Amino acid sequence: MNENKAKNSLKKLVTEAYISDLSKIIKDNMTGIKFFYPNIIPYENKIIKAAKKLKSTTAHKIDKEYNKFVKISSSSTGNFIIVKGVNALEIAKSKLAIDSIIQVASQFNFLESANTNYMDITKYIYDKTQGPLASIASLEALIIRDNAVAKQKILGQQEGIFKNIPNVYKNGYFMPWKIRDEKEKEKILQQLTKNQGKLEILAQKSKPQLGNGISFTQVFSAAPSFQGYRRPLKNSLDDKFCMLLVPLQYACIAKLAAIQSIATGKRVNIHLTLIGQGVFKNRQEIINLAMAEIYKYINGFNINIYIHAFKDFDIKIAKQSLKNNNIFYSEMTNEEFFRK
């Protein structure tokens, strides 16, 4: 009975749309890590139709569904594993990706861009950061999502939480450092805190072209951007925006995984990345808070948490975030990840 209830919850929270002939063309031409972008003009009507099927959810709706099961979970606990040196484009080639939940670093509009300007998805391959590479691993899903967000503007507009702050939020980028007046900044922080449950979350199920027929769910996560500005000081208003928004999205992923574990009766794999680090200049301690949220909401459910850290610096952040939360973890090499 709980299994069916959880399946119904997932139907409300997870979205999907496919174009079978487009998918076949991509799959037939995209081998190894060779990138192939098809001519989509003949598929435009199908893409528009498929894009209309995509529906986002919100942090509040995810929490509401999760709370139906939090008191009836098993006594299992999560396993935390730091995975070293895996290219985000290739995660789908591992058996550990099957029916998993994969966090994709993106902007708040579920797309990728190097700045506040729209970036054509044909250029994602030239951006070697994890978000664009993870996105093009499911190229069909990306093409459909891009149409819904950038062309039709029926997805990822974030009007529930970022409405009426146009100079600070643009094209998926939230830039609180641009608010020079501290009283105005405090007011906007209060507004976002009040409306945090309205944060739009996209959990898009897809069939990655490199995945040999598997499927997984991509959940898109973003962080406030401090590109071109200094890193926020601890407990400053800028820092509080990060503390509010980043851990919240990690919590949503944990809750989705918990519901999926009940719906399937199986252990669910989550693949996480370190949102907001690097050029976005969020403090490393924000990841500590994010991991605390993951641990809080997966506790009692059958879940494995794979934290992907590509460089030595990333590995250090991942280890420190778990140690600070007294979370036991193991480590996995690139070779071990693909042997599983």
Question: Residue with structure tokens 């590995």?
Answer: 315
Residue type at 51 in one-letter notation: A
Fold of the domain built from segment(s) 2-339 = Leucine Aminopeptidase, subunit E; domain 1 (3.40.220)
Give the pLDDT of residue 73: 56
Give the pLDDT of residue 165: 86
Give the pLDDT of residue 130: 85
CA distance 196 to 63: 12
Our measurement of the distance from residue 135's CA atom to the centroid of its chain's CA atoms, rounded to an integer in Å, reads 10
Contacts of residue 263, defined as CB under 8 A and 6 or more positions apart, other chains included, come to 3, 6, 7, 9, 10
CA distance 121 to 143: 8
Pairing of strands 57-58, 200-201: antiparallel
Give the pLDDT of residue 31: 62
- Every domain of the chain and the residues it spans: 2-339
Give the pLDDT of residue 149: 98
Give the pLDDT of residue 89: 87
Give the pLDDT of residue 334: 95
Low-confidence ranges of the chain (pLDDT < 50): none
Give the pLDDT of residue 105: 96
